[in-house]
Structure formats: C-alpha cells, structure tokens
Amino acid sequence: MKAGDANSWMFGLNPAVRYFVMDGLGVGAFLGFNKIKDGPTTVRFVPQAEYNFNLGSRLFPYAGLGFGFQYFSVEEGGVSASSTDALVQFGGGVKMTFGGGSSASASTSPSSSPTRP
C-alpha cells in the first residue's frame, strides 16, 4: 500500500467480550482481523483479564493484560510468507457507564510479538 494511493483500503474487525467474575474483575477474549489491500493480513486471538477501578462515578479507569496468538501473512511479488507467534497484549483506558450494563471506552493496547524483517 502506497501513501496517497486512491485504491488503497484497510479493513479491521476487533471485537472483545468480558464476563465479570467479581466486582471490578472481568475475564474474556479479544479476536482481531485486519487486512490491508496489497499488504499483510493479521488475525489475533487473546484471552484477557481486565480490572475496572470503579471510583464511585460513571467515569473510571481500567487496565488489562492478555496472552494469546497472532497469525501474520503477506504476499508480495508472487512470494508469500506467514507465521504464527505468541502475543502479549496490555493496555488501559477510561470507561463511562450508561446503565443496564452498557459502557463505552477509550483505550490504548500496545502488543508485543516478534518483529518482521
């Protein structure tokens, strides 16, 4: 994918689910799929734990940690390569609750896996 290429596109679908096992502590999983036109495809599955620091307001911080796997594939010039790697994902952010068990969040989740040449 080249910068400024009008025919470039990227698609990503990255849902996560959580089940709260006790007040503030949730366990769940993240499943990610990302594809860039004429570029790499990445699929991630990461079981995670998350702690919500509920300070008695509708707005509160949270932090999470997960260990999982990442599948990476790319094809360029008729040559393809792929790999499956272990993945560590951590992050945190801020959530706002709306009642009825619903919430919205803003977060950052850097990941660590072997680098690609």
For residue 21, the domain's CATH number is 2.40.160.20
Q: Within 13 Å of residue 3, how many CA atoms lie on the same side as its CB?
A: 0
Say what the alpha-carbon torsion angle 89, 81, 6, 107 is, to the nearest 10 degrees: 0
- Which two three-digit tokens encode residue 65? 């940690």
**Cβ pair 61, 92 in contact under 8 A:** yes
What's this model's pTM, rounded to 2 decimal places? 0.70
Q: Which domain holds residue 92?
A: 10-110
In a domain, residue 3? The reply is no
Predicted confidence (pLDDT) per residue in 93-103, tens digit: 888 877 766 67
In a domain, residue 116? The reply is no
In a domain, residue 4? The reply is no
**Cβ count within 10 A of residue 109:** 17
- Which two three-digit tokens encode residue 47? 């079981």
Predicted confidence (pLDDT) per residue in 40-82, tens digit: 899 999 999 999 887 778 888 989 999 999 999 988 778 889 9
Q: How many domains does the chain have?
A: 1
